[in-house]
A and B are shown apart, each in its own frame.
Chain A
Amino acid sequence: MDRKRRTMDGSGIRQALSMMNERGSGEGAGYVAYGVYPDYRDCYALHVFFDNVRENKDVVDATLEQWGTIEHDEAIPTYDQPNLRAVHTPWRYFFKPDPSLAPASTSPEDDIVSALVMRVNTARRGALIFSSGKNVGVFKAGGWPEEVADFYRIEDYEGYTWLAHNRYPTNTPGWWGGAHPFNLLGWSVVHNGEITSYGTNRRYIESLGYTCTMYTDTEVVAYLIDLLVRRHGLDLDLAVRALAPPFWEEIDRMPEAEREWNRALRLTYAPAMMNGPFAIVAADADTMVGFTDRSKLRPMVVGECADRLYISSEEAAIRAMEPKVESITMPAAGEPVIGRVAP
């Protein structure tokens, strides 16, 4: 992330991610960049995987037009790679929802778009919306990081915050939808590890109107952050604390006022708490946050260099991107590292 919103093209992060090929299996990788669509900054950029453009696109067009205006849409430019079999056609829409269609809502546009995402993805009619925020785009596919980067020519995109992920899938190998980052509206998430509380988290988030459609544990993180931050208005660090709370032993030792709100947080968000090994980096247009599980079972390294904040599984990846990095730290378990861009 660049805190001054100075953009970086995708070549740096491509380079960084390829440093960690040992962690992947060549079956999925992806990137997300904030600030990539300045010309359509007021539109929701919907990235869609079509199984078949001819068969499946009409339905999505019709649904979107029912709820707002499509300002522009096009195929996302891709470039054939020898080892990457293009099983989907990536498409993008720049969409403006009609707020008068959700009069009861305090954030009608967000609500319409998130409902549309859930609807299209649950319908499973050969279309999957995998990116839905403003001025942000997810680019992912099955393959090694470099192949996916080259497939999208990631160096052609300019963003001030980038997340990238290299996957070693156990659940849904090869499925493009299963690759990270996961995105809903503003929030994107990459995740290393396995969430053992997934069943609890998913049932909780689904009971509050979200629908999990990606067959993988990471998407609940995006929804949980959306719930806690956007819908419940919690500060990001408090939201992270709800997801990876302190142990009761620690809470018991806190001074009273602190103990009370920590207890309240754990009780209220017990089903949101995430268990198992994980390191997660999430971002929205203004923020980037990295945190690990409360037992610190996955690695996380933080680097800083002037206005730039880097979070990675390995220091090497940070140094590959920024050889002059000024500080390297390892945050404590459950402790969020938060970067914010200047307003």
Chain B
Amino acid sequence: MTIGSLPSRYRISIDPVRCMECERCIENCPYGVFRRDGDRILVNSRNCTACHRCIACCPRDAISLEEHPCDYRSHPIWTREAREAIYNQARTGRIILAGMGNALDYPVIFDRLVLDACQVTNPSLDPLREPIELRTHIGKKLAKLDLRRRENGDIELRTALTPNLRVETPIMIGHMSYGAISLNAQMAMARAAKETGTFMGTGEGGLHSALYPYQDRMIVQVASGRFGVNIDYLERGAAIEIKIGQGAKPGIGGHLPGEKVCEEVSRTRMIPLGSDAISPAPHHDIYSIEDLAQLVRALKEATEWKKPVFVKIAAVHNVAAIAAGIARSPADAVVIDGFRGGTGAAPRVFRDHVGIPIEAAVASVDKKLRDQGIRNEVSVIASGGIRGSADVAKTIALGADAVYIGTAALVAMGCRVCGNCYRGLCPWGIATQRPDLVQRLNPDAASEQVANLIRAWTLELAELLGAAGINSIESLRGNRDRLRGYMLDESLMQVLDVRQVGA
């Protein structure tokens, strides 16, 4: 034994006094933590992922869960994670894959920004009393308008607008592919998007026929693997998004293991049953910015210039210049995914160490586009770690038009952020294709929950806007005067272009 067994990550215990041996925990745990032995329920804590399914279904509150029941010797540098990664790689010699977003303890900039409210010098607005407009248009805008007055006094619009998506709230649902998540999960979110007047992304897994009724609320994605992409798919979407990169793993491709390619997934992605779906790191028809512009045009030309085309990039160091390049193509929107963006699986080293936070990325993209005098001509959608309406408001004040949520929508459906999506056994029926698990997620109930979340955030946004004396979301966009930095350093405040509290 050179390394030996490591301490268990979680400890599950059952209070025998409370337990009524109903076995719900046994049925519900796909990881096999529980088993019955006579009149007792036994546990194997090593299998636990802290998904909380058992805790949620136990009628007696008999189960308790403890994280890290056994400590290592504490050390500020040689953390548990650092040591365990080394043990793992010493044993396997492989790249470590991990689920969900960035798990390193970087400071969260959102939590060091505070919003403004009116006192005296202008009235705060009560959303019940005054309209607060959250409607947002995603798409290309004109630099200037040619409006002429005819002889008879009518106004003539001489410059046509290109198609824009009309979103009733600046909260959209980002791309999570069928394959990575279940059809029930996609269905629930699609219905919620339709109900709340917003849009959701298909991810790069194609569009399942069950989602056709919601297609005018779906943004179809074209990623490097081109899975599920054909002319029919492009025409169905309300908009098309080219995925260049993703915040959780900038610069690398993706890989859906064959185990997850069940019959329906295979049909939707148009790949053989059980085959690995490998997305190359780059699009092989994009090796430079002019090639990107060409793909944007190719997609527009294929759909006869009726669909907005977005381009999604991971927030990397040079994100501002890249976004400016995209803005000068016919692309309608730039999607920026910050380094906290979620994922089913990503190499840990990328998830935790590559890319920059969305707050700084949005601020610098907005500034770069303004420096070039083209900010309003293109929309900016931000994503990656948006946890609540305050984050939405702050993102917009830093310069975004709208946000994509991902993990938050999953959490609204029951996800516990256990980070084990890649195992395909999601006990909540979200990140799994196993039929018995998928059917645990009721699309009706789940869609209501996601819709509720969007409605609740929308209400809060309206309140925040009203308190700031603003009755339309476009007057918050890039309005960094309504933000203050709290315990942020000088140079970061310069990047964010905000003043410090008290200033």
Contacts and interface: CB of A to CB of B under 8 A. Distances in A.
Given A170-B121, A207-B373, A275 B471 contact: yes
B440 to A, nearest CB: 40
Given A170-B121, A207-B373, A265-B147, A196 B468 contact: yes
A270 B373 contact: no
Interface stretch (B106-114, B127-135, B209-217, B386-394): B127-135
A313 to B, nearest CB: 16
Interface string A249-280: 10000000110110111011111011111000
Contact of B145 (A209, A232, A258): A232
Contacts of B418: none
A191 to B, nearest CB: 12
B437 interface: no
Interface stretch (A5-13, A30-38, A198-206, A284-292): A198-206
Contacts of B230: none
A248 B475 contact: no
- The prevalent SS among residues of B at the interface is loop
Nearest to A249: B131
Max chain B C-beta neighbours (<10 A), residue from A231, A249, A257, A270: A270
A275 B469 contact: yes
Interface in A223-266: 231-235, 238, 247-249, 257-258, 260-261, 263-265
Contacts of B375: 203-204, 207, 271
Contacts of A62: none
B370 A203 contact: yes
A25 interface: no
B135 A248 contact: yes
Interface in A42-76: none
A295 B155 contact: no
Nearest to A263: B161
Interface in B454-473: 468-472
Nearest to A227: B144
Given A270-B141, A275-B469, A258 B155 contact: yes
A335 B149 CA distance: 18
Nearest to B397: A199
B23 interface: no
A196 B157 contact: no
Nearest to A275: B475
Interface in A163-199: 170, 193-194, 196-199
B122 A207 contact: no
Contacts of B347: none
A343 B28 CA distance: 84
A267 B470 CA distance: 17
A260 B157 contact: yes
Given A199-B482, A270-B474, A295 B142 contact: no
B45 interface: no
B226 interface: no
A298 to B, nearest CB: 9
A193 B145 CA distance: 28
Contacts of A257: 154, 157
Contacts of B470: 196-197, 275-276
Interface residues of B, number: 47
Contact of B123 (A235, A260, A269, A277): A277
Contact of A265 (B145, B164, B472, B480): B145
B478 interface: yes
A297 interface: yes
Interface in B228-264: none
B376 A276 contact: no
A249 B132 CA distance: 11
B35 interface: no
B141 A267 contact: yes
Contacts of A209: 373
A273 B142 CA distance: 15
B389 to A, nearest CB: 19
Contacts, number: 123
A264 B371 contact: no
A267 B137 contact: yes
Contacts of B476: 197, 200
A199 B480 contact: yes
A261 B158 CA distance: 9
Contact of B469 (A232, A268, A277): A277
Contacts of A267: 137, 141-142, 161, 164
Contacts of B131: 247, 249
B125 A295 contact: yes
Contacts of A268: 141-145, 376
A276 B122 contact: yes
A48 B164 CA distance: 46
A198 B481 contact: yes
A271 B469 contact: no
A198 B370 CA distance: 15
Contact of A199 (B133, B137, B161, B481): B481
Interface in B467-503: 468-472, 474-482
B159 interface: yes
Nearest to B377: A268
A208 interface: yes
A200 B472 contact: no
Contacts of B477: 200, 270-271
Nearest to B154: A257
A260 B476 CA distance: 24
B118 interface: yes
Contacts of B370: 203-204, 206-207
A209 B374 CA distance: 12
A15 to B, nearest CB: 28
Nearest to A278: B122
Contacts of A193: 122
A183 B152 CA distance: 34
A41 B59 CA distance: 88
6 contacts: A194-B122, A197-B475, A200-B474, A265-B147, A267-B161, A277-B123
Given A247-B133, A276-B469, 18 more contacts: A194-B121, A196-B122, A196-B470, A200-B474, A203-B478, A207-B369, A209-B373, A235-B147, A257-B154, A261-B147, A264-B142, A265-B147, A267-B141, A268-B144, A270-B474, A271-B376, A275-B475, A295-B125
Interface of B: 118, 121-123, 125, 130-131, 133, 135, 137, 141-147, 149, 154-157, 159, 161, 164, 369-373, 375-376, 397, 468-472, 474-482
Question: Would you list the 10 A-B pairs with minimal beta carbon distance, nearest first?
Answer: A199-B481, A197-B475, A199-B479, A207-B370, A275-B475, A270-B474, A196-B469, A261-B157, A194-B122, A200-B479
